[in-house]
A and B are shown apart, each in its own frame.
Chain A
Amino acid sequence: MTRQNLDDEDRQLIDSIRLGERGLFQRIVEKYQTRIYNFGLKICPTAQDAEDMVQDSFINAFKYMKDFRFEMTFKNWLYVIASSVCHKMKRKSRFAPERELSLEEFMPSEKDRVKTEPPEWAMEPVDKLLSRELSEKIREAIAGLPTDYRLVLVLRDIEGFSTEETANILHITTANVKVRLHRARLFVRGTLKEYYENDPAR
Chain B
Amino acid sequence: MRTTRQDNHETGICVSCFERLSEYIDNELGDSGCSEVREHLEQCVCCSACYKTLKKTIELAGCQEDAPVPENLSNRLKQILFLN
Contacts and interface: CB of A to CB of B under 8 A. Distances in A.
A22 to B, nearest CB: 7
A33 B59 contact: no
B45 A54 contact: no
Interface string A31-72: 001100110011000010001001100110010000000000
Interface in B19-76: 19, 21-23, 26, 28, 45-46, 48-50, 52-70, 73-74, 76
A189 B77 contact: no
Interface residues of B, number: 44
A189 B53 contact: yes
Nearest to B20: A182
Contacts of A192: 53, 56-57, 60
Contacts of A19: none
Contacts of B52: 118, 122-123
Interface of B: 2-3, 6, 14-15, 18-19, 21-23, 26, 28, 45-46, 48-50, 52-70, 73-74, 76-78, 80-82
Highest count of chain A CB atoms <10 Å: which of B48, B59, B68, B69: B69
B49 A117 contact: yes
Interface of A: 22-23, 25-26, 29, 33-34, 37-38, 41-42, 47, 51, 54-55, 58-59, 62, 103, 107-108, 112-113, 115-119, 121-124, 126, 129-130, 134-135, 138-139, 142, 153, 157-158, 160, 163, 178, 181-182, 185-186, 188-189, 192-193
B60 A59 contact: no
Contacts of B49: 108, 112, 115, 117-119, 122
A118 B67 contact: no
Contact of B15 (A107, A135, A189): A107
Contacts of A113: 6, 46
B69 A34 contact: yes
Given A62-B81, A193-B53, A135 B22 contact: no
A15 B45 CA distance: 56
Contacts of B77: 29, 33, 54-55, 58
A59 to B, nearest CB: 6
A51 B76 CA distance: 10
A26 B57 contact: no
17 contacts: A38-B67, A41-B67, A51-B70, A55-B76, A59-B80, A62-B81, A107-B18, A108-B50, A115-B45, A115-B49, A126-B60, A134-B60, A157-B58, A157-B61, A158-B61, A189-B57, A192-B53
A152 to B, nearest CB: 11
Contacts of B58: 157, 185
